[in-house]
Amino acid sequence: MRCKNCQHTQLAQSPIVQKYCHIANKVRNKVIMSLQDDCTLDCIANDNNISPSTVNRYLDQSRAIASLIKQELPINMALGEFRGVNQQLHFICIDNDGNHKIQAILPDRYKRTIENYFLSFPIQERARVKTISMDLNSYYQEIARRLFPNTQIIIDRFHIVAMLTRAFNQYRAQVMKRFEKTSRNYRLLKFSWRLYLVSEKKLSNVNAYYDRHIRQQVTSNERVDLGLLVDERLMADYNVMQSIMTNLSHRDMDGLTDALYPSEQISS
């Protein structure tokens, strides 16, 4: 505003907003609190009627990621990574005791960054950790064994199943390429490949449908059987994969051990 006597201008100030800012402090605080939730920057921006770039600026200013780092470690932890701002991968550590609260989010997933974070805790605190759940990342396992003396490593079942299905699909593609593209065997393995990855219990023996690729009326179970008959080793791979998936879902350790060492000839 301008003074009528001296013609000098002054900026009106209020405790509601910061100086040179038109966004209320309450909105800013709400955005900072929302950054700790499981939602995107666009969702936070839409909820508060501001732009995503403003949310990103508040993220940098408030150092919300650093504020999530706690001074003690949970008894049961889970390690992983996620894709964050600018498509960069960040390391995340959470409490695996049911509440799944965030323990720490690091700016990258480099080995040195992760080691430096955990080494900031004394050995007595790291010795309290009993279990660490993770994927098949090799240096996660190395860090866990070296820095946590009393921990037990737990591999996430999802990654085991993903590795199985990926290996099965690779051999299925190898067998498929042995045949001409116009042949029936090629079409059996080329199309409806997702059915091979479904649990056997979810395949139907009753509901038939017309498969235009093989020009035949089949059920989903019959469709899988027709494809497996093309190659004996492919059928052995399928049986092993299904056995491991079943034992993992039932938490049957003895059955899982037997399934990991099959008597059938399977692919490499």
Cβ neighbours around 134 below 10 Å, total: 18
Residue 186 has pLDDT above 80, yes or no: yes
The fraction of the chain above a pLDDT of 70, given in percent, is 95
What is the model's pLDDT at position 70? 61
Least-confidence region, from 34-48, 112-126, 151-165, 185-199: 34-48
Average pLDDT over residues 239-258: 90
Distance CA 19, CA 16 (A): 10
Domains within the chain, CATH numbers bracketed: 1-67 (no CATH), 68-155 (3.30.420.10), 158-260 (no CATH)
Residue 56 has pLDDT above 90, yes or no: no
What is the model's pLDDT at position 69? 55
Q: What is the 3-class SS of the chain, one letter each residue?
A: CECCCCCCECCCCECCECCCCCCEHHHHHHHHHHCCCCCCHHHHHHHHCCCHHHHHHHHHHHCHHHHCCCCCCCCEEEEEEEECHHHCEEEEEEECCCCCCEEEEECCCCHHHHHHHHHCCCHHHHHCCCEEEECCCHHHHHHHHHHCCCCEEEECHHHHHHHHHHHHHHHHHHHHCCCCCCCHHHHHHHCCHHHHHCCHHHCCCCCEEEECCCCEEEEHHHHHHHHHCCCHHHHHHHHHHHHHHHHHHHCCHHHHHHHHCCCCCCCC
Residue 10 has pLDDT above 80, yes or no: no
Q: Classify strands 131-134 and 76-83 as parallel, antiparallel or unpaired.
A: parallel
What is the model's pLDDT at position 13? 75
Residue 200 has pLDDT above 90, yes or no: no
Residue bearing the bigger pLDDT, 145 or 98: 145
Residue 147 has pLDDT above 90, yes or no: yes
pLDDT band at 264 (very low <50, low <70, confident <90, very high): confident
Q: Which of 96, 44, 40, 35 is nearest to 68 (CA)?
A: 35
Q: At what angle do helices 253-260 and 232-250 cross, to 10 degrees?
A: 160
What is the model's pLDDT at position 130? 94
pLDDT (tens digit per residue) in 95-141: 888 778 888 888 888 888 899 989 989 999 999 999 999 988 888 99
Residue 63 has pLDDT above 70, yes or no: no
Residue 144, judged by CB atoms within 10 A of its CB (0-12, 13-18, 19+), counts as buried
Residue bearing the bigger pLDDT, 23 or 62: 23
Residue 233 has pLDDT above 50, yes or no: yes
pLDDT band at 260 (very low <50, low <70, confident <90, very high): confident
pLDDT band at 68 (very low <50, low <70, confident <90, very high): low
Residue 227 has pLDDT above 70, yes or no: yes
Average pLDDT over residues 168-192: 91
List Cβ neighbours of 120 (8 Å cut-off, separation of 6 or more). none
CB 236 within 8 A of CB 264: yes
CB 74 within 8 A of CB 97: yes
Q: Is 0.85 surpassed by the pTM of this model?
A: no
Distance CA 24, CA 16 (A): 6
pLDDT band at 64 (very low <50, low <70, confident <90, very high): very low
CB 219 within 8 A of CB 205: yes
